[in-house]
Structure 1
Amino acid sequence: MTKLKLGPLADDRPVKLAVELPAAVHRDLVAYAAALATETGSEAVTPEKLVAPMLARFMATDRAFTKSQRQGMSKDSA
């Protein structure tokens, strides 16, 4: 099995957010949750628990976004 981008999920205080997803994305989240449970040896998580860490990982690895964030911080500190 290939290494998944997400590891064990941190237990963090959530902020409630409602979103609508296409059925295909939901099916993929369910499959990803099962694969993550298998890879980490933990209990399966609900698809909803995957959204935040996936978005965080996506934003952290988006070079243009992180660059704009760094530039925004340097402007704020001036």
Structure 2
Amino acid sequence: MPKLKLGPITDDKPVTATLELPAGLHRDLVAYSDILAREAGQSAGDPIRLIVPMLERFIATDRGFAKARRIDRQS
């Protein structure tokens, strides 16, 4: 089985945000949560908790964003 990009989800102080997800994206989050839980040997958690680490990973690995951020900091 391929390695997922996310590791186990850590507990952190939550901030409440309200958003609508397309049904297909929610199904994908549920499936991802199930696979992640299986890989970690845990029970499946709330798939909504995947959104923050996924966004963090996306931002951390976006080279264009990192470059633009460096340029902004130099200005």
Fold-level similarity (TM above 0.5): yes
Q: Aligned pairs, how many?
A: 75
In structure 1, C-alpha distance between the alignment counterparts of 2:24 and 2:6, rounded to whole Å = 20
- Partner in structure 1 of residue 16 of structure 2: 16
Q: Which runs of 4+ in 1 moved over 6 A?
A: none
In structure 2, C-alpha distance between the alignment counterparts of 1:13 and 1:49, rounded to whole Å = 12
Deviation, structure 1 residue 72: 2.1
In structure 2, C-alpha distance between the alignment counterparts of 1:70 and 1:19, rounded to whole Å = 30
Look up the equivalent residue of 1:12 and give its one-letter code.
Answer: D
- Runs of at least 5 residues in structure 2 that lack an aligned partner in the other structure: none
TM-score normalized by the length of structure 2: 0.91
Identity %: 55
- Runs of at least 5 residues in structure 1 that lack an aligned partner in the other structure: none
